[in-house]
Structure 1
Amino acid sequence: MKNLIIRALTGIVLVAVLIGFTILGKTYLLLLTTFLSLVGIYEFFNIMKKLEYKPNYLLAFIFSLLLLLTVYFGYTNIESSIILVYTLFVMIMMTFFDLFDHKTAFLQIFVVTYITLSFSRLILLSDTMLIWLVYITSWGTDTFAYLVGSVFGKHKLIEKLSPKKSIEGAIGGIIGAAILTYIFAVVFKFDNKMQLVIIASIGSVISQIGDLCASKFKRISNTKDYGTIFLGHGGVLDRFDSVLFTAPYIYLIYSFL
């Protein structure tokens, strides 16, 4: 019971901070995404070190910060160039200075793309109402999947990745995200309510895929949680794993609107 209370209180604080920083605007989202990115990279590197990878934390931190600042100041036209320069730099360090082996070099590039680039989409969505759809599809799915799965869950979703997740919970997460999105669309008087519901339903599936992908890395490194920074919830990547998939998806939709 005590753990449930701690988890609930931490969840409330997290949601309040996320809502507050989003309302306060782009600069505050830069601060938030910088924190989440750097801590997320730290957590990811820590679990991969168990598999004898030897990543360079500082290098990933520097390029992550550079990427986030590039997005924040609106230089999205050179965003891909930043990633390319980082990739080439890692390759040079691997080839001529033996700073990395080939596996670690891949990891070094992967984390910046997977974590920092994904979180940076929140900055790009900061001036749109669609940023709230990221939160609704991610955490709405998590909440409803947990509640429905706890009560009705009988059939395992993918047991080898996440033993506690059920097919019933996954369906409940999709339905829950769709309902929350419809309520959101009604409250804020969107004309295209059903389009948003469809986008959110697909986003819910993508959100759960993101969750399972994050679980895969925990399984192969024999790790229970990525971190302990959020009491009752684990680390940044435990709590925001689904956001890492839904934020790029929602931004892609926004780009075509």
Structure 2
Amino acid sequence: MKVRIISALLLLPVFFFVIIYGGLITRLAVIAITLISLYEFTGAFNKSGIKLTNFTLYILSILVMGPNWANLWNILPVALFVLVFMESILLVFNKRKIEDISVSALSFIYITVALSSIIVIRNNNFEYIWYIFIFAWATDTFAYFVGLTFGKNKLIPSVSPKKTVEGGIGGIFGSVLISSLYAYYVHPENILIVIIASILGSMISQMGDLFASSFKRKIGIKDYGNLIPGHGGMLDRIDSIIFTAPFTYIFVYLVNVL
């Protein structure tokens, strides 16, 4: 626990610098996180016998996130098609199986598409980007301490034995509390929709954590890596953010529309 807290405190200044500075710095940081996460995710599957073309995933992710596209979302379907097409060539020549192609497409959608939301929101709606991390980290922090203090009823023990119903509820409370405080000072006119979004965002954050844990259970690994002391791999640290990032994009879109 002590190592986990120290690692988080050391990374916080880097995190704030990357998000606040924006531009190329944010873009490069998101690309680096994406590539590391792809490496960890596909590496876990490679150990289970599924063959993935990591090089293709890396190149497409860089091509999607690297240039300053006018509309990044227009590029993503094209990149996904290119990925599936290239994998299909390997399938035709019996170099890959259907499972390989499916997991390659999943890896791109799950990691690259999801994390690209950070770049889009940072470029267009800076004041809302913090919700990506509030939904994830406030939930994670409050869920941990509430679960540690009051947790009795297991949430889904077959997936994550330590998570409790009480912790899950505490996580939702934490997400609502921190999100509401931020909204009160930054855009109080949207506080009601922020409260609703923070409840959903917390639930989605917890689902992201459980989703990543489900893969680890099925593959038979404890962590995706050991890059960050006390946290495991990069993917172990951002599994919730992978879900809250696209959710926050949807939230921002609805705020602008409504």
Q: Name the TM-score, length of structure 2 as normaliser.
A: 0.94
* Equivalent residue number for residue 3 of structure 2: 6
CA displacement at 1:189 relative to structure 2: 4.3
* Equivalent residue number for residue 88 of structure 1: 85
Aligned to 1:125, what secondary structure does the other structure show? Answer: helix
* Equivalent residue number for residue 213 of structure 2: 215
Query: Partner letter of residue 35 of structure 1?
Result: A
Matched, 1:67 2:64: yes
* Equivalent residue number for residue 105 of structure 2: 109
Contact conserved, 1:203 with 1:249, CA < 8 A, in 2? yes
Distance 1:180 1:133 in 2: 9
Unaligned runs of 5+ in 1: none
Which deviates more, 101-110 or 172-181?
A: 101-110
Kindly report structure 1 stretches of 4+ aligned residues shifted beyond 6 Å: none
Distance 2:122 2:142 in 1: 25
Of 37, 41, 49, which residue of structure 1 is paired with 2:38?
41
Unaligned runs of 5+ in 2: none
Query: Partner letter of residue 104 of structure 1?
Result: D
Distance 2:23 2:241 in 1: 17
Distance 1:45 1:78 in 2: 23
Contact conserved, 2:133 with 2:241, CA < 8 A, in 1? yes
Of 243, 246, 249, which residue of structure 1 is paired with 2:247?
249
Distance 1:143 1:106 in 2: 34
Distance 1:64 1:189, change over 3 A: closer
Contact conserved, 1:218 with 1:225, CA < 8 A, in 2? yes
Q: Name the TM-score, length of structure 1 as normaliser.
A: 0.94
* Equivalent residue number for residue 158 of structure 1: 156
Contact conserved, 2:28 with 2:66, CA < 8 A, in 1? no
Matched, 1:98 2:94: yes
CA displacement at 1:98 relative to structure 2: 2.6
* Equivalent residue number for residue 195 of structure 1: 193
* Equivalent residue number for residue 235 of structure 1: 233
CA displacement at 1:190 relative to structure 2: 2.7
Matched, 1:173 2:171: yes
The RMSD of aligned alpha carbons is 1.3
* Equivalent residue number for residue 21 of structure 2: 24
CA displacement at 1:188 relative to structure 2: 2.1
Which deviates more, 136-145 or 104-113?
A: 104-113
Distance 2:23 2:197 in 1: 24
- 1:25-68 Cα offsets, whole Å, 9 max, x none, are 13212111111111101111121122211212211111111121
* Equivalent residue number for residue 55 of structure 2: 58
